Amino acid sequence: MMNSGPVRDGAAQAASAASDAALLKLEDFLPHRLNVLSSLVSQALTRVYGRYGIGIPEWRVLVTLGENGVMTGKAVGAHTHMHKTKVSRAVAQLEQRRFVSRRANRADLRESFLSLTPAGRAVYEELAPSALEFMNKLAEVVASADRPAFDRAMKQLTKRSAELVAEIESGKI
């Protein structure tokens, strides 16, 4: 039986050298880090609203309507940065659960006005304190003195990302 130790050691050294010379290290790549953070936060937050049998898109629609009242699906999509088909599916799920009602827009029959039903409002009001508690637990790792700078950075990154999307879509990039 042959000893494969030197081969493995050689492979490990080559892999180490390759990572040192890598043009891009995923763990240092800001978009990846933000995606990982978003994914982990979403996974943890589902423990808060998952007991109602709703997913992330439904949660976003429910909270947006709870916060803003009557809105169109298009406005919900713009507010949540969700694609119109994802909003439509989430609204259909929430309607099926009787958490959201839809009323036709007489001025434009292609769109409807969405609002929470009394049952949807009750779920929103029950979930809001738990969601806020979750947010506070998550944010407690950021020192109070650093939170304004953190919030500014989040807003700046969000704004810049939207600008880059617009630039890409217009062909500038």
| CA–CA distance, 68 with 70 (Å, rounded to integer) | 7
As a whole number of Å, the CA-based R_g of the chain is: 23
Whether 68 and 79 have beta carbons less than 8 Å apart is answered as yes
| CA–CA distance, 73 with 112 (Å, rounded to integer) | 7
Domain 46-141 CATH class label: mainly alpha
Read off the pLDDT of residues 86-124 as tens digits, 9 standing for 90 and up. 999 999 999 999 999 999 988 887 889 999 999 999 999
Q: Enumerate the β-bridge partners of residue 115.
A: 101
| CA–CA distance, 99 with 95 (Å, rounded to integer) | 6
Listed by start position, the domains of the chain span 46-141, 143-173
| Residue 80 burial (C-beta neighbours within 10 Å; 0-12, 13-18, 19+) | middle
The residues of the chain scoring below 70 in pLDDT are 1-20
End-to-end CA distance of the chain: 57
At residue 120, the pLDDT reads 97
How far CA 145 is from CA of 136, 140, 148, 151, in Å, comes to 15, 11, 7, 11
Q: How many CA atoms lie within 13 A of 32 on its CB side?
A: 6
What letters, b where the CB count within 10 A reaches 16 and e where it falls short, cover 45-60?
Answer: beebbeeeebebbbbb
Helices (H), the chain: 5-20, 30-49, 56-68, 73-80, 84-96, 118-139, 147-169
At residue 61, the pLDDT reads 97
Q: Which of 53, 130, 32 is nearest to 96 (CA)?
A: 53
Whether 81 and 65 have beta carbons less than 8 Å apart is answered as no
